[in-house]
A = this chain, B = another copy of it.
Amino acid sequence: MSVTAAKGFTAAGVAAGIKESGTPDLALVVNQGPNLAAAGVFTSNRVKAAPVLWSEQVLKGGQVCAVVLNSGGANACTGPLGFQDTHATAEKAADALGHSAGEIAVASTGLIGLRLPMDKLLPGIDKAVAELSPHGGEKAAIAIKTTDTVHKTAVAARDGWTVGGMAKGAGMLAPGLATMLVVLTTDADVDAAGLDATLRAATRTTFDRVDSDGCMSTNDTVLLLASGASGITPPQQEFADAVHAVCDDLARQLIGDAEGASKDIRIEVVNAASEDDAVEVGRSIARNNLLKCAIHGEDPNWGRVLSAIGTTSAVFEPDQLNVAINGVWVCKSGSVGEDRDLVDMRFREVRVTADLAAGSHSAVIWSNDLTADYVRENSAYSS
């Protein structure tokens, strides 16, 4: 399953010794063809990790034969020597696979500001190449975990062709909690331009609308590789739907495993004047620490939703705002609505609906509560 659900892909996940714990830390995904078409989207953080700078260049060619991914170190803010390390990683994989380094993408995740132990990483690539298998998808997904408690995979099987993928991270795309790495594969026969358009459309409404803690990573990477091994070129909309379904599934899994979270918060902004307004309001609500604490405490504190909406530039009138929590309209016309005691917040998923009464557009943003466990997990030295 995972990245090897689609025909034409092999993968492996091994323990190279990058992590002191000795758990798996190096994954390799190889496109066996016949096509090598690929697309990628990367963090919009202006401080980009070396593997992001490298892979952005690789993807400009529209061809990727393999992806090397490591956990145990982000290789971000490591200067020119860190970039040389990424280059050496691609060269090593190229040698082992008999390909050009210019078609090998690299992705890293872990602590910022530390060089990778290349004496362990490079031999790990040989080990991974030796273990490449059309059943290696699960092992690859396990090897890219950092603070993830479970590995994340998803598959959309269609009539003769398939889209599969793996993800790590408790985070997001535009803003990233920890590093989010995603590799999607398909055996559909789609060219690089088609992959690029499909991937951008899918990520815009999935990974890009996950906002767990508002912190943008230096390493976020989402790649889509197409082998064409099915021999089928699906109708464009069917392919887009399948890629979207896998992205949506993985994005939901990321939120469900966010660091320290006890609640998954689905924020739906409706009746906005534009989609941009809906997204801006949704993000503002998602990033309001006071609301995130209230939801942790199962307190339907709609005043904090209104104060978050009030900081945005979206079109609305304060006295026309309505807010529902788990379906109870606790705020109507900007003031007290239905009885807040009617709100049942015992379950992990909490739904916040903000009605801007300003138009017909909407958007959904996913977030998490803010917990003492989040603080503990991120206060530990060098976590």
Instruction: Spell out A's residues near B (CB within 8 Å).
Output: 45-48, 74, 76-79, 82, 111-115, 175, 177, 213-218, 287-290, 293-294, 296-299, 301-304, 306-312, 316, 318-319, 321, 331, 333-336, 370-372, 374-383
Say how many copies of this protein the assembly contains.
2
Residue contact B318 to A46, C-beta cutoff 8 Å: yes
User: What's the Cα separation between A112 and B306 when bound, in Å?
Assistant: 9
Top 3 closest A-B pairs, CB basis? A112-B303, A297-B379, A47-B310
Chain B residues whose CB sits within 8 angstroms of the CB of A378 once the complex forms: 289-290, 293-294, 297
User: What's the Cα separation between A122 and B239 when bound, in Å?
Assistant: 67
By secondary structure, the A interface counts as: loop
Residue contact A299 to B381, C-beta cutoff 8 Å: yes
User: What's the Cα separation between A218 and B217 when bound, in Å?
Assistant: 31
Contacts A113-B336, A215-B307 known; A293 to B79 CB distance under 8 Å? no
Residue contact B112 to A304, C-beta cutoff 8 Å: yes
Residue contact B79 to A336, C-beta cutoff 8 Å: yes
Residue contact A335 to B77, C-beta cutoff 8 Å: yes
Contacts A214-B289, A290-B213, A318-B47 known; A335 to B78 CB distance under 8 Å? yes
Chain B residues whose CB sits within 8 angstroms of the CB of A382 once the complex forms: 299, 301
Chain B residues whose CB sits within 8 angstroms of the CB of A293 once the complex forms: 374-375, 377-379
Residue contact A375 to B217, C-beta cutoff 8 Å: no
With beta carbons under 8 angstroms apart, the residue of B45, B79, B114 that contacts A334 is B79
Nearest-Cβ distance from residue A329 to partner chain B, whole angstroms:
13
Question: 11 other contacts beyond A46-B311, A218-B303, with CB at 8 A cut-off?
Answer: A46-B310, A47-B318, A77-B302, A79-B336, A112-B307, A113-B302, A113-B331, A289-B370, A289-B378, A296-B379, A371-B375
Chain B residues whose CB sits within 8 angstroms of the CB of A214 once the complex forms: 287-289
User: What's the Cα separation between A383 and B334 when bound, in Å?
Assistant: 20
Greatest chain B CB density within 10 A among A114, A303, A312, A333 is at: A303
Give 6 CB contacts A-B under 8 Å: A45-B310, A111-B303, A215-B288, A216-B311, A297-B381, A374-B375
Nearest-Cβ distance from residue A310 to partner chain B, whole angstroms:
3
Nearest-Cβ distance from residue A218 to partner chain B, whole angstroms:
5
Chain B residues whose CB sits within 8 angstroms of the CB of A79 once the complex forms: 319, 333-336
Nearest-Cβ distance from residue A355 to partner chain B, whole angstroms:
14
Chain B residues whose CB sits within 8 angstroms of the CB of A383 once the complex forms: 294, 299
Residue contact B77 to A303, C-beta cutoff 8 Å: yes
